[in-house]
Structure 1
Amino acid sequence: MATHPSSSPFRRFVYENSLLLVGTAMVLVTMVGQYLTGWRENNADLEQMHLLPLTLGQYFTSGHFLEATFENWESEFLQMAVYVLLTVWFRQRGSSESKKLYEQEEVDRDPDPSKPDAPAPVRWGGLWLALYKHSLSLALFLLFLGAMWLHARGGMQVYNIEQAHEHKPPVTTLGYMQTARFWFESFQNWQSEFVSIITIVGLSIFLRQQHSPQSKPVDASYAETGE
C-alpha cells in the first residue's frame, strides 16, 4: 500500500529523509560515547606517564581522538568505494547486492542530455560529464585519503608522546606512516570492512528481510539475482 505524503512540510521532510536523519543521530550518539570514554582512557594513559590530564575541550584536538575516529572512518570510506567499483564489474548469482548476470540495467545506459531534468554536468558534457559519471567513487576515495591522513596525523601525535616518554626522537606524519604500527592499524580495519562485503553479499543469497531494499523478496528463489 502506498504511503500518502503528509500535509505538514516538517513531517514530510522528516519522512522523506528519515533514513539519513536516523543514521546521523546514531553517529552523534555513538560519537559522544566514544568521546567521553576515550577522554577517560587517554587521561589514564597520560597519568601512567606522569603527564597532565586533558580537559574535555583539549581532548577534541588530541591525537588520541583524531586517531581513534579517523582510523575507523578511513576503513569505512575504503569499503564503500571498493564496493561501488566491485559491483560495476563483478557479479554474484543469487545475491540482491549484485547486478543481473547477463542483462543490461538502468544504470548501464548512456546518460541522455536531452532529458528536461538531467543534471547540469550531463547537459554540459565533456570533462564535467566524465567526472560526474564517476563522482561517487571519486568522492569516496578522496574521503578515504583524507581520513587516512588524519588517522596518521593523530597517530603521530600519540606516538610522539610515547617517544618523548621513552626519550626517543619524534617522527613526522609521513614518518609515522612508515611504521608497522600505522599499517597494522589500517590493515586490521580494512580487513573487517572487506569481511562485511562478503558477508552481506553471501547472506543475501539465502536470507531475507521483508521490506528492506537490501534483500530480495521473501518468496524469491536462491537463484534469482536482483529480483
Structure 2
Amino acid sequence: MGAPARSLRNNGLSIAFGVLFLAALAGQALAGHAEFNEEQSSHGLPGIGLGSYLMSSQFAVDVVENWRSEYLQFFLYVYATVWLLQLGSPESKPAERMGDETDPEQEVGRWSRRRSPPSARARGARRKLFSVSLGLVMGTIFLASWGVQAWSGWSAYNYQQVEQHHRASVGFAEYLTSGDFWSRTSQNWQSEFLAVGSMAVFSVYLRQRGSPESKPVGAPHSATEESG
C-alpha cells in the first residue's frame, strides 16, 4: 500500500466527516440564500447574491448557533465522564477509576512510556495544561462560537427590525436579554443532551459490531469501559 492510500486509510474518519461537513455547509448556504431572498421579496426588498449572503450576519448566525451547541455537548461530556458513571456503558469508566486517576494510571511523569507525548513526560504547568487540554479546547470553541452567535445574531436581528419591520434597532446588551437570543441559544441544547444521555444508556443494552462506541457483541450488559 502506497503512502497516499495509507494516509487515506489511517485518516478515513476525519476525512469522511470533513467532506460531509463541507457538503452540508454548501447545502445550507444554497438553501439559506434562497430562503433569505424569498423573505426579502415578501417584504418588497431586493435580493442579494450568494457571495453577499455568505458574508452576511444571517448566514453566520445560522452556522455558528449549531457549532455552539455541539461543542457544548462535547465540553460537558469530556468533563462529566471524569466524575459521573454509567454502569455497563463503553463511554463510562468503572467505579474504581472515578475522578482524575493516579499518575501511573494516566502514564505521566516517570510512569510515561517511550512513545508518550513529550508534554506527558514534562513537569509542572506544561503537563497540567496538557492533561486538561481537550476540555479547554472544546470549552474555548464553545465560548468563541457563542460570542460570534451573539454578535452576528444581534446584527441579523437589527437588520430584520429596521429593514423588514421598520422598527428601531436595539443595543447589544438589550439583544442579549431578548427572546431571539435565548431562543437561538437554547433551541438545540435539549436535543444534544437527550442524544448524549440516550447514547450512554442504549450502549449498555444494544450493540454495533466492530464499532468502538459499542461493547463487543458478547460482552455482558454490566461490562463497563469495554469497546468492540
**Structure 1 and Structure 2 fold alike (TM over 0.5):** yes
Tell me by how many angstroms 1:166 deviates. 2.9
Separation (CA, whole Å) in 2 of partners of 1:103 and 1:184? 39
Tell me by how many angstroms 1:106 deviates. 9.1
1:162-186 deviation digits (Å, cap 9, x = unpaired): 2113333223444322212211221
1:78-110 deviation digits (Å, cap 9, x = unpaired): 000000111100100111111112257799435
Provide the residue aligned with 1:66 in structure 2: 60
Separation (CA, whole Å) in 1 of partners of 2:173 and 2:78? 29
Provide the residue aligned with 2:146 in structure 1: 148
1:42 aligns with 2:41: no
Separation (CA, whole Å) in 2 of partners of 1:103 and 1:163? 54
Provide the residue aligned with 2:180 in structure 1: 181
1:20 aligns with 2:5: no
Separation (CA, whole Å) in 1 of partners of 2:57 and 2:23? 21
Tell me by how many angstroms 1:48 deviates. 1.7
- 1:223 aligned partner, one-letter code: S
Separation (CA, whole Å) in 1 of partners of 2:102 and 2:211? 20
Of 77, 92, 113, the match for 2:71:
77
Tell me by how many angstroms 1:196 deviates. 1.0
- 1:83 aligned partner, one-letter code: Y
Provide the residue aligned with 1:97 in structure 2: 91
Separation (CA, whole Å) in 1 of partners of 2:63 and 2:172? 17
Separation (CA, whole Å) in 2 of partners of 1:202 and 1:82? 17
Separation (CA, whole Å) in 2 of partners of 1:173 and 1:132? 36
Tell me by how many angstroms 1:225 deviates. 1.2
Q: Is the 8 A contact 2:119 2:126 kept in 1?
A: yes
Tell me the matched-pair count. Answer: 221
Q: Is the 8 A contact 1:112 1:118 kept in 2?
A: no
User: CA 1:43–1:75 in structure 2 vs 1: closer, same or farther (change >3 Å)?
Assistant: same
Separation (CA, whole Å) in 1 of partners of 2:45 and 2:173? 26
TM-score, length basis structure 2: 0.90
Separation (CA, whole Å) in 1 of partners of 2:23 and 2:214? 27
RMSD, aligned CA: 2.0
Provide the residue aligned with 1:216 in structure 2: 215
Identical-pair percentage: 34
Of 109, 113, 132, the match for 1:112:
109
Q: Which structure 2 segments of 5+ residues have no match?
A: none
Separation (CA, whole Å) in 1 of partners of 2:83 and 2:74? 15
- 1:182 aligned partner, one-letter code: F
